[in-house]
Structure 1
Amino acid sequence: MATFPPYPTHPAGPVDGALRHPRWWQRRWVRYGALITLLALSGLVILALVREQTGTEGFLVGICLAVLPVPLLIAAFRWLDRVEPGPWRNMLFAFAWGACAAALIAIVANSFATRWIATATADPSSADTLGATVIAPIVEESSKAAAVLLVFLFRRRDFTGIVDGVVIAGVTATGFAFTENILYLGTAFGTDQITGDRGIASVTAATFFVRVIMSPFAHPLFTVLTGIGFGIAALSAERQHVRRVLVPLGGLLLAMSMHAFWNGSSTFGPYGFFAVYGAFMVPAFGLLTWLAIWTRQRELRTVREELPVYVFAGWLGPAEPFVLGSMRARQMARDYAGHHLGKQAARAVGQYEAYATSLAFLRHRGRRGRAGADYVVRERELLAELWKRRQVARPAMEYAARMSAPPRPVYGPPVPYGTAAPYGTAAPYGTAAPYGYPAAPYPAYNPYRS
């Protein structure tokens, strides 16, 4: 009989045997309460400032128009994050930080710096140009990067690679652009109210076309460079301190440079904006979109390559690496569970897929010597979560494998279940797993049994 590695036991407690209670400021509810209060106050202040500049009517018009691209951008980043979906609270924090805290910092700092330059140089026009091309990119990209840094430091388990950096940075920038668009669109509407312009020739229509139709991806595009830098740092080993610091700084500097180039396009002549948009922004957007999708496919390949070892050990079924490495098969498994067992079962299968993906990424980092000191503990936690959901997930995984696996050519009679198929012989489902590793029957093994 085949033997399987024993399930690691949970530690009995702290190493020194003493229970350590966190101080009051270290408790989770205190940190969450302080963060929510900070963001709420920032939101109230920024709403008051924007309403003061646009007026009540302009403020309402600005909100209605600025919100239009937000669902599309959030859906795009959520789609990108489907391989190993991060918790919603991280995305909510990122959006709230961008829309409230980062926007407040940018408005206050940009206004102060522009006024100081105008006073020092006695040239308001040059102060506005310098503020838009130099001060604004530095202040805005730094304030948005703070959200990525906070998630990287305090939600390290949820920040494991480039896709996570792209998603957090992109959602933060989406929130920032939302607030900024309210200000610009509301101000444009106020101008039209004064001049009496209406229709497509109005300032509001022109602002809406440039900021919402042509370039809704501008701010996310800049900040994603910072997110890529933090994503590379997350993939680096903990001992590579210099790389983990310099690469995010390099991404931030690139984001500032691209932002400055975009803001300065209006000074390049009457057609400078359109030239920069067509020759620079659109290709850069296409390149980063390709990079994000390629990274997503690479993550699926990592899942297929890393999980077979858990099939050999008996933790996963023989077809599960194939199912977990295909987004279409994953969806089929969730649909099967939801149709036959209900929404709660579909949710459990989705959680099973997420935990298995995290397990694959953890092992990938461990093989490359980039895992943290809690590698063994984290692996044990993920295996325990998978084992809790195995009864619901296994039938759904098997169904998805049967429906999505390509048909195999039959060169001879099939062999019995559980035996290896000789070369050139078609093996029935469950005998040979995809991608070349042999299948073993899932053991009747209870990890909680001593």
Structure 2
Amino acid sequence: MTSRGPEDFPARDRVPVTPQAGFLQPARVKPPGAGPVPVQPLWSAPPKTGKGTAVTVLLTVGASVALLAVAWFLWWQLGTAAFALCGILALVPLGICLLGLRWVDRWEPEPRSALLFAFLWGAGVSVGIALLAGPYVARLFYALLPGFAPEFIGPVLEAPVVEEIAKGLGVLILVFVRRSHFDGPVDGVVYAGTVAAGFAFTENILYFGSALITSGEFGAQLGFVFVLRGLFSPFAHVLFTSAIGLALGFAVRRGGTARIAGAFFLGLLAAIVGHMFWNGGTALVSGDFFAFYFLLQVPLFGLAVTGVLLLRRAEQRLTRQRLGEYAAAGWFTPQEVLMLSTRAGRHQAMAWAGRFGARRIMKTFIAEATRLALTRQQIAAGRDVAANQATERTLLQDITRTRSMMLARSAGTARGLV
């Protein structure tokens, strides 16, 4: 069977030119592939069925069971009233983290099923691993470092090692289970950050509950811990574990199990060191937390945000470059490429579609085109070529259908106004 490309699609699969005032034009009726830089016909295999989705569902069920077990443990430890109160308080830093991660994920949103698994893994499985393995790892450190105080070994050595391994395993699972949706460093940051947000949510319940039980009342001690963990440093765990996601994101773009494994251990090392530094860094400023916070933690957070912005801009440039190849083959116009690869263009397109009730259709069109560009990048990098070639073909068919729906809605509205 010969490989097929854009030029092999029959004419009925393409949309004729229907000019719309003030907006992008659909692909012209010239045969795709006739442009100066045609897209290579790489399709050769049928698309894989949703095995990744099925495995994700099974893993999600398992992670949900783990979360229920951890929740039961916390309820048993804290009591009903404290568990409920501290759970409500823990929603505040969780909401801050999820809003930040949603902002990072706006360019090419990840599947909700994968994000749900990431959260459940962090909130349930990772916490369970930390609770079960933590004491044994602490004993190992006590044996290896007999001269160190428990106050140092626990938070500075044992906790970073156990917690980052527990969280990182969830991110590594997503690399292999949802490989088609793990495209680069931005995706890695989103998945790792979601795992970390889940872990921090459950851990905050435990910390808030401990403060409440120790003081015996809803007072200053609980308020101090809430401000410290929930408002001053809600992104702490997200920052640590994002190092793992970032390393894995760069590795998956080049492919190879050995490269991914190496990137995992490199990112894990960075996460552990960062976590150790965060927990023990006050010793560098004579125990002054606020000096440590404003001199070191705040600049570190600023660097992380700057890095995410740079990664997002790189993803936008990649989208423009890869969609430009399809434009040369006749699947998009240059105006569409500009619209799809810039935030201003997307906002303008959504506003235009909103005039005739097609915002959801336009959102689908943007998501499919972005997914197409990232799939093309994977093919160019030689990663899972057969599967990505099949995905490419499916996306082009979906984009053609979505464009037809959007133009039909626009034409129907225009006729109603005449």
TM-score range, shorter chain: 0.7 to 0.9
State the Cα deviation string for residues 373-401 of structure 1 (Å, max 9, x = none): 4342222111111111112345999xxxx
Residue in structure 2 matching 1:136, options 147, 159, 163: 159
Question: Which residue is 2:403 aligned to?
Answer: 390
User: How far is the alpha carbon of 1:13 from its aligned partner?
Assistant: 6.8
Structure 2 CA distance for aligned equivalents of residues 308 and 272 of structure 1 = 54
Question: Which residue is 2:264 aligned to?
Answer: 248
Bigger drift between 279-288 and 93-102 goes to 279-288
Is residue 203 of structure 2 the alignment partner of residue 203 of structure 1?
Answer: no
State the identity as a percent.
34
Mapping for residues 372-391 of structure 1, pairs under 5 Å: 372-391=385-404
Give the number of equivalent residue pairs.
Answer: 378
Q: Is the 8 A contact 1:58 1:186 kept in 2?
A: yes
- CA separation of 1:32 and 1:88: change in aligned 2, threshold 3 A: closer
- CA separation of 1:120 and 1:212: change in aligned 2, threshold 3 A: same
User: How far is the alpha carbon of 1:315 from its aligned partner?
Assistant: 1.3
Structure 2 CA distance for aligned equivalents of residues 96 and 266 of structure 1 = 32
Structure 2 runs not aligned, ≥5 long? 1-28, 411-418
Question: Which residue is 2:173 aligned to?
Answer: 150
- CA separation of 1:155 and 1:34: change in aligned 2, threshold 3 A: closer
Higher helix share: 2
User: How far is the alpha carbon of 1:265 from its aligned partner?
Assistant: 3.0
User: How far is the alpha carbon of 1:206 from its aligned partner?
Assistant: 1.1
Is residue 233 of structure 2 the alignment partner of residue 215 of structure 1?
Answer: yes
Structure 1 CA distance for aligned equivalents of residues 49 and 281 of structure 2 = 56
> In the alignment, residue 209 of structure 1 is paired with which amino acid?
V
User: How far is the alpha carbon of 1:261 from its aligned partner?
Assistant: 1.5
Bigger drift between 269-278 and 165-174 goes to 269-278
TM-score (norm 1): 0.75
State the Cα deviation string for residues 320-352 of structure 1 (Å, max 9, x = none): 0010011232133234324413xxx32222121
Structure 2 CA distance for aligned equivalents of residues 190 and 220 of structure 1 = 27
Structure 2 CA distance for aligned equivalents of residues 71 and 42 of structure 1 = 22
Mapping for residues 279-318 of structure 1, pairs under 5 Å: 279-318=295-334
Structure 1 CA distance for aligned equivalents of residues 285 and 207 of structure 2 = 22
- CA separation of 1:126 and 1:395: change in aligned 2, threshold 3 A: farther
> In the alignment, residue 243 of structure 1 is paired with which amino acid?
R
Is residue 95 of structure 2 the alignment partner of residue 79 of structure 1?
Answer: no
Q: Is the 8 A contact 2:137 2:162 kept in 1?
A: no
> In the alignment, residue 125 of structure 2 is paired with which amino acid?
A
Q: Is the 8 A contact 1:348 1:392 kept in 2?
A: yes
Question: Which residue is 2:345 aligned to?
Answer: 329
TM-score (norm 2): 0.81
User: How far is the alpha carbon of 1:271 from its aligned partner?
Assistant: 2.7
Question: Which residue is 2:32 aligned to?
Answer: 4
Structure possessing the higher relative contact order (Cα contacts under 8 Å, 6 or more residues apart): 2
Mapping for residues 40-189 of structure 1, pairs under 5 Å: 40-114=64-138, 126-189=149-212
RMSD value, Cα? 3.3
Bigger drift between 211-220 and 383-392 goes to 383-392
- CA separation of 1:261 and 1:396: change in aligned 2, threshold 3 A: farther
